[in-house]
Structure 1
Amino acid sequence: MNTQTNPAHSAARIVPARMAHLVYRCARRAETVAWYIKLFQAHLVFEDDVLTFITYDDEHHRLAFFNMPDIPAKVAETAGVHHVAYSYDSIGDLLSTYARLKPLDIRPFWCINHGPTTSLYYRDPEGNDVELQADNGDDPAAYFHSDAFANNNLGVEFDPDELFRMWQAGASDAELSAVGTAATGKSTVM
């Protein structure tokens, strides 16, 4: 048995290549699965009486749902995951998704420009929160070291319909990401 360690690997920082999937326990599985299929334009990979797998890309499954109809409903004030965030390549992609979901009656409960991101928060049928976001600017992490972040580390709410109208009228991602910026301390769109 070879117990030697490859020196090139011993000092290397090894991290996961990507996040693979999330698994939800569901009292209302059918409704929740249908909601996520609409949210992500996903497709069903597998389903039986206990488990459902769906995906929206080339991963074999991005989300799994356990059918547990007898579990109690989620309580807001418990320890655990606050929300899961998904990034879009541009604010245009985020706003296009907003417009696609709106007639499906999937609407955000909170729209906020955090500074580093423009974000739309949704709540699934089980009470889990999902953030859809797009990065603002070329170096969103730099915002954490700014005076604007020191003065307002949460962000500023905005009206997604107005932001969508601006996007349709030809506003750039830079112009859209400046709307309601936390740097101003007040929303320019409400």
Structure 2
Amino acid sequence: MSRIRPKAFVHIVYRTHRFDTMMDWYQKVFGARVQFRNEMLGFLTYDEEHHRFALVNLDLLDPNPKEKHRIGLVGVDHVAYTFASLRELLENWEHLKAMGVEPYWCIHHGITVSLYYGDPDGNQMEFQIESFSTPEEASAFMTGPGYTENPIGVEFDPESWLARVRAGTPESDFLIREVHQPVSPIRFSTPN
């Protein structure tokens, strides 16, 4: 099998104690528009992508003291890369797992299906597949009641999903998030 690679870099997420100031700055500097905002999270874009920047309000985050060294700090939270298909995302998961590299969080955000990995220094990255085929559909989901109820997502098992995809279940059956109740807290990578 040839090596599966992401098809594009898609967004970056920052942790901040100056949430409102940062939201304003990205709107001014990039001409970005707000896609979603609540007291804890803000998602902005300057093009057709559903978000290019996300901001996490650290003033509202109550981190686990054990992880405070990582998530309580201002700066980059994670960078995200998108794959061409759900099958490629899941086959890459299997390839990495065989090499001893496993995600710390498997989550269906609603706008994306995502696997989060941490490198040896604890830098976080998101490998994802888009849930919607058009930017308009993604934007509509982000402004709808399901996303307002749960902008974080619900966890999933990549092993069972890959088995179902290989058995012939259409990828489209996995992409639209039907459940919106949160099932887990936000997870963070910790260095090994």
- Whether the 8 Å CA contact 1:119–1:133 is kept in 2: the answer is yes
Equivalent residue number for residue 136 of structure 1: 131
How far has the Cα of 1:141 moved from its partner?
2.6
Match of 1:153 among 140, 151, 154: 151
TM-score normalised according to structure 1 size: 0.55
Structure 1 residues 71-124: Cα deviation after superposition (integer angstroms, max 9, x where no partner)? xxx930211100010001111111111111110011000000000000000000
Identical aligned residues as a percent: 34
TM-score normalised according to structure 2 size: 0.55
User: How far apart are the structure 1 equivalents of 2:138 and 2:159?
Assistant: 24
Match of 1:98 among 75, 93, 100: 93
| Unmatched runs of 5 consecutive residues or more in structure 2 | 1-7, 10-67, 184-192
RMSD of aligned alpha carbons: 2.4
How many residue pairs are counted as aligned between the two chains? 115
Equivalent residue number for residue 75 of structure 2: 80
Give the structure with higher Rg (CA): 1
| Unmatched runs of 5 consecutive residues or more in structure 1 | 1-17, 20-73
- Whether the 8 Å CA contact 1:84–1:131 is kept in 2: the answer is yes
Structure 1 residues 36-67: Cα deviation after superposition (integer angstroms, max 9, x where no partner)? xxxxxxxxxxxxxxxxxxxxxxxxxxxxxxxx
Matched, 1:115 2:139: no
User: How far apart are the structure 2 equivalents of 1:153 and 1:182?
Assistant: 13
- Whether the 8 Å CA contact 1:87–1:135 is kept in 2: the answer is yes
User: How far apart are the structure 2 equivalents of 1:177 and 1:110?
Assistant: 17
Q: Which amino acid aligns with 2:155?
A: E
User: How far apart are the structure 2 equivalents of 1:186 and 1:88?
Assistant: 25
In 2 relative to 1, CA 137–97 (structure 1 residues): closer, same or farther, beyond 3 Å?
same
| Larger RCO (CA under 8 A, 6+ residues apart) | 2
Q: Which amino acid aligns with 1:161?
A: E
Provide the secondary structure at the position in 2 that maps to 1:96: helix
User: How far apart are the structure 2 equivalents of 1:88 and 1:140?
Assistant: 16
